Chains A and B, each alone.
Chain A
């Protein structure tokens, strides 16, 4: 049972939600904000068993849904699937910063794309929105940059001893 890792991951995701709704509500280069909650979820699921990882994704999504006006469950669905894909592919991108960066970018793209597609299906009219189209391009880029800082921090925070030491070097 990974009580420590799960607890710390939840704490980090809640902190990320608070930052998303405050700091990143104001820091919006080109009118698009990075998705720190998604980055936090991607960073944390590396250290969790598959089932808690997927649940963490869902929790992060629901939390961010609670602060918006989009249908409750939209981000939750997206984050759940991102967490699932992340869990299934994490062994391919661990340890290499370049591979990790690409993975964060692709998972972020998947997350934003899912929100846009499912949001459109549920009548939110997102896919035909130029601002959303811009987000599809910029959010993954911002998340990769953010990931460079967040992933080592998360590793040093909840990673196992070997990785924690490596992240501090």
Chain B
């Protein structure tokens, strides 16, 4: 135990540190995690990344084995769920041709020309670390040297939207998942072609809000996709899978809210793909031939961030 009989100034030190903490929080929030705080974060993540990678190599196999043993009982349920999913996907595949044709027609109609095959220019990245207990963010092992920029959307292996890049250092990036209160809202396209706004409740699920005189209804299980650039928001390209409606709802006085289950399993992600978006901000990486496509997309992309792509074509009335 520590000796007694000396002056205890811990309360004074703690008060100073609490004030310093409040100042740090204020500056960090006001600078939107950029500036000194962003630099510190990038530096820390860059320093820790090699050690984290090493630790992950040791930890992952052990955790996988433990997971396997712990989840043995749940595997049957998972199997049944996957079978249902396969059936659903088979049905989806059957609809793909129709949707593709319709999509091409709509793209021509809208004058919207997205870069060809966004998935081909996606930057594959490994999840190397996560935030604290109450923090939803995670770190990946790709950074500015790979062409990653703040604000770019991130998807999982199935193409489901995972989040957006919040911080970037040379070799690492911090991703804020869509379920985090810090993530930007997502404008989504509903089945009836109206728009809705999906925002995080921070609960691992999302909430869809629709304010529209013409919205009909949302049916439980409806698949929600990103609407694409809308007004000043250019955060997400069009057509990314977001989630499914957890319940059915019809508008009352032109508005309603329903829960949305994200399609991406954000808690258990090991690899993600970062999409160079919007195309005019994508930074091609010279040694990667795939990024030539990104540059092509850059030149062919006619998306105007300020333009509403639905205007004139679908005349969506929703105003999230």
- The interface residues of chain A lying within 8 Å CB-to-CB of B166 are 69
The answer to the question of A150 belonging to the interface, with a C-beta cut-off of 8 Å to chain B, is: no
Chain B: minimal CB distance from A70 (Å) = 5
For B202, the closest partner residue in chain A by CB is A129
A68, A70, A73, A160: most-surrounded residue (chain B CB, <10 A): A68
A55–B11 Cα gap in the complex (Å)? Answer: 11
Chain B: minimal CB distance from A96 (Å) = 14
Q: Interface stretch among B108-116, B135-143, B225-233?
A: B135-143
B1–A37 contact, CB under 8 A?
A: no
For A37, the closest partner residue in chain B by CB is B132
- The interface residues of chain B lying within 8 Å CB-to-CB of A160 are 1
CB contacts under 8 Å to A, within B92-135, are: 128-135
The answer to the question of B181 belonging to the interface, with a C-beta cut-off of 8 Å to chain A, is: yes
A77–B21 contact, CB under 8 A?
A: yes
The answer to the question of A13 belonging to the interface, with a C-beta cut-off of 8 Å to chain B, is: no
B52–A21 contact, CB under 8 A?
A: yes
Q: Given contacts A25-B138, A50-B8, A94-B1, are A71 and B133 in contact (CB under 8 A)?
A: no
For B47, the closest partner residue in chain A by CB is A66
The A/B interface has a contact count, at CB < 8 Å, of 180
- The interface residues of chain A lying within 8 Å CB-to-CB of B132 are 20, 35, 37, 64-65, 67-68, 70, 75
Chain B: minimal CB distance from A131 (Å) = 5
B13–A81 contact, CB under 8 A?
A: no
A69–B133 contact, CB under 8 A?
A: no
The answer to the question of B305 belonging to the interface, with a C-beta cut-off of 8 Å to chain A, is: no
A48–B20 Cα gap in the complex (Å)? Answer: 22
The answer to the question of B9 belonging to the interface, with a C-beta cut-off of 8 Å to chain A, is: yes
Q: Interface stretch among B56-64, B80-88, B215-223, B277-285?
A: B56-64
Chain B: minimal CB distance from A47 (Å) = 8
A66–B130 contact, CB under 8 A?
A: no
Chain B: minimal CB distance from A53 (Å) = 7
Choose among B20, B41, B59 the residue that contacts A23 (Cβ–Cβ < 8 A): B59
Q: A35-B133, A67-B131, A128-B202 are in contact. List 19 more A-B contacts (CB 8 A).
A: A18-B48, A18-B52, A22-B52, A34-B133, A35-B132, A49-B2, A55-B13, A58-B21, A62-B24, A69-B33, A69-B182, A71-B28, A77-B18, A77-B21, A77-B22, A77-B25, A80-B14, A122-B29, A131-B204
